[in-house]
Structure 1
Amino acid sequence: MVSGFRLSFSLLSLNPGTNPCHRRRGRDAPHHHMRSTSLPCPVLSPLLDEIRSLRSSPDRDGFDRIYGLLAALDDLLHLPLARDTLRRRTASADRLLRLADAHGSFRSAAIALKQHLSEGRTAIRHRDPVRFASAARSHRRVEKEIAGLASAIKDLARSPPLAPGIGPDSEIAGIIAEALAATAGTSTEVFLSVSGWGSWMVWAMRRPSKKGSEEAEMVAMEKLEEMMERNEGLEAGSGRVYRSLVNTRVTLLNMLTPSS
């Protein structure tokens, strides 16, 4: 490790003025201020940027940005130094498994939500309040399941304490811990945002039906179409994140498995 610099955590306290990967190379600048220990800046800097971005606004374009973070993390994991570190630290693989399981379950829930929204739309077209009420109740049940998923990974949004020590091992372990914590935090925010969608359906279900109220039906259909469109985006986004988490975990497990 280069004397005079150690990457401190939380990493998100870094900004372009303090992150050595963002420092402008100048003739009078000491060499050890231009890079972070033995980690190459082309790999480290994008990952720190992705972590900082997720921490600052976790509920905006959440799944797309998680996918970007995981891609940057994958670059780090393929460094020989990262491989050596992870062979001695196995907690990250367990955290990745929990995150992957949560996203796999969320994607299944999103598919179920789409079915219930479609059922609600059909009920409106046929002016069938009983059918609509059934779809709304089913929708709310799935939303409660999603809220449960958010609760199950909430603790992963906190970076675990690191073992004492300095050096590349500690630095890489800390970076990975921060990346997974940011992923969990953003996932939790997105899950919770979805868990309140069905309140509109419950409200509509409890309103007295007015036969022939075409305007009310039109408003309801437009709302359902909007919810279905958002749901499709979430289903696709979570699917990408799930596959990326699984691939990253496979990479970790391959590092942890002794070669024959």
Structure 2
Amino acid sequence: MVGVFRRSLSFSNKPPNRPSIPPISQPFRSISLPCRSHPLIPQLKDEITELKTWSSNPDNRTSAWLCDGLSRLKDVQDSLHDILQLPQTRELLSHKREWVEKLLEDFLRFVDVYGIFQTSFLSLKEEQLAARVALRRKDDSRVAMYLKGRKKMAKEIAKLVSSIRCIGQYSFPASATMSIPDTELTGVITDVIEVTVSVSVALFNGISIPFASKKVSWMGLALSKKANKVEVEKSIKEFEQIGEANVWRLRRKGDDEEVKMVLKRMQDLERCIADIESGSDKAFRSLINTRVSLLNALTR
């Protein structure tokens, strides 16, 4: 009997001769914090751009428009606050003490100015409530006190404009050894100060200009139309509607329908005042938080 043998195939362990392929070299991106773009900066840049658009192209200067600007300002300050908590941000600022001290001075002035505004605006709120009661009762002496107090408040707030325009009048001391992300960071902080000034000026002008004393005279009537237009563009609509002339006209005419109309406008204005007060208070608190974060960067 002949045995059956199965053919077996054996394969060499050595691969066939092929042209050698060099290993693929893949470059690795450094992820060290000093070289990487700072997180959250793109978001902050977008918020700053939106706020600049808000400031330069107002469709209608109403209290709602102003509250929107204050809300956007709060978002910008909150985003900056978050960025200031990052280790790489604190590392940079710790080596730029002189510049950070100037920033601290700027934010201290922001806080002081908003504190003064809050106090004046609270007085306006109280005077507004009392004046509405006085108009209903036709109390001329109380109405006169209201108009006088309103002018005083307008002067106080108008002074804040010149104070706030002086903030940020310096440049960051650039260095050739600074990385691109660090340059980006310092640039965005400068932009934050710029938009904070812009929104604040819109807030203070928008309220103080309509309540400023306007003496009617032949010389006053000769003012250029351009000057009057600029003044109107800076005013907030709801504050313009309760002008001094409207209030005193009620005293002379005694028209019940007109009294009701002005009383309704004053009631609407009180709601606007409450909204602006809330928005400015939130922005005020965000400014305080930002300054605290800057202070912590120096004391780390």
- TM-score, normalised via structure 1 length: 0.78
1:163 alignment partner AA: P
Shift of the 45–170 alpha-carbon distance from structure 1 to 2, 3 Å rule, reads closer
**Cα distance in 1 for residues equivalent to 2:41 and 2:162:** 30
Aligned to 1:70: 77
| CA deviation after TM superposition for structure 1 residue 210, in Å | 4.5
The gaps in structure 2 that reach 5 residues or longer are 1-28, 59-64, 213-241
Determine which structure has more spread, i.e. the larger CA radius of gyration.
Answer: 2
- Which shows bigger deviation, 202-211 or 116-125? 202-211
- Tell me which residue corresponds to 1:173: 186
Q: Distance in 2 between matches of 1:94 and 1:174?
A: 18
- The CA deviation string for residues 147-203 of structure 1, in whole angstroms up to 9 with x for no partner, is 1112210133x6632223342433322211111211111111111101134363421
Separation (CA, whole Å) in 2 of partners of 1:217 and 1:197: 20
Partner of 1:196: 209
Following the alignment from structure 1 to structure 2, what is the Cα–Cα distance between the partners of residues 204 and 217? 10
Question: C-alpha distance in 1, partners of 2:174/2:293?
Answer: 26
Q: Which residue of 2 aligns with 1:39?
A: 37
Whether the 8 Å CA contact 2:107–2:287 is kept in 1: the answer is yes
- Contact 2:41–2:185 at 8 Å: present in 1 too? no
TM-score (norm 2): 0.68
CA contact 2:250–2:259 (8 Å) conserved in 1: no
Contact persistence 1:123–1:131 (CA under 8 A)? yes
SS of residue in 1 equivalent to 2:138? coil
Conserved in 2, the CA contact under 8 Å of 1:163 and 1:170?
A: no
Task: Give the number of the structure with larger relative contact order, counting CA–CA contacts within 8 Å between residues 6 or more apart.
Answer: 2
**How many angstroms does 1:128 deviate by?**
1.4
CA RMSD of aligned residues (A): 2.3
2:199 is aligned, of 172, 176, 186, to 186
Return closer, same or farther for 1:83/1:93 CA change in 2, 3 Å cut-off: same
Residue of structure 1 in register with 2:61 after alignment:
none
- Percent identity over paired residues: 28
Deviation at 1:238, TM superposition (A): 1.1
User: In the alignment, does 2:206 pair up with 1:209?
Assistant: no
Given the alignment of the two structures, is residue 135 of structure 1 paired with residue 146 of structure 2, yes or no?
Answer: yes
SS in 2 for 1:164: coil
Structure 1 equivalent of residue 48 of structure 2: 51
Deviations for 1:27-67, whole angstroms, at most 9, x for unmatched residues?
xxxx89xxxx62245x0111001111111122631211110
CA distance in 1: counterparts of 2:261 and 2:210, whole angstroms: 16
SS in 2 for 1:163: coil
Paired residue type of 1:195: S
Equivalent residue in structure 2 for 1:164, among 174, 195, 198: 174
| 1:160/1:177 contact within 8 Å kept | no
Q: 1:213-232 maps to which residues of 2 (within 5 A)?
A: 213-232=255-274
Between stretches 140-149 and 161-170, larger displacement belongs to: 161-170
Equivalent residues of 1:86, 1:256 under 8 A apart: yes
Give me the whole-angstrom Cα distance separating, in 1, the residues matched to 2:257 and 2:165.
42
Q: CA deviation at 1:217?
A: 0.8
Instruction: Find the residue that maps to 2:47 and give its secondary structure.
Output: helix
Note if 1:110 corresponds to 2:121. Answer: yes
The CA distance in 2 between the partners of 1:202 and 1:238, in whole Å, is: 25
> How far off is 1:212 after superposition?
4.8
Select which of 124, 133, 141 maps to 1:122: 133
Amino acid at match of 1:47: L
1:207-246 deviation line (CA, Å, top 9, x unaligned): 2624652111111101211221111111111111111111
1:73 to partner: Cα distance: 0.8
1:240 aligns with 2:282: yes
Cα 1:187/1:67, change in 2 over 3 Å: same
Counterpart for residue 159 of structure 2: 148
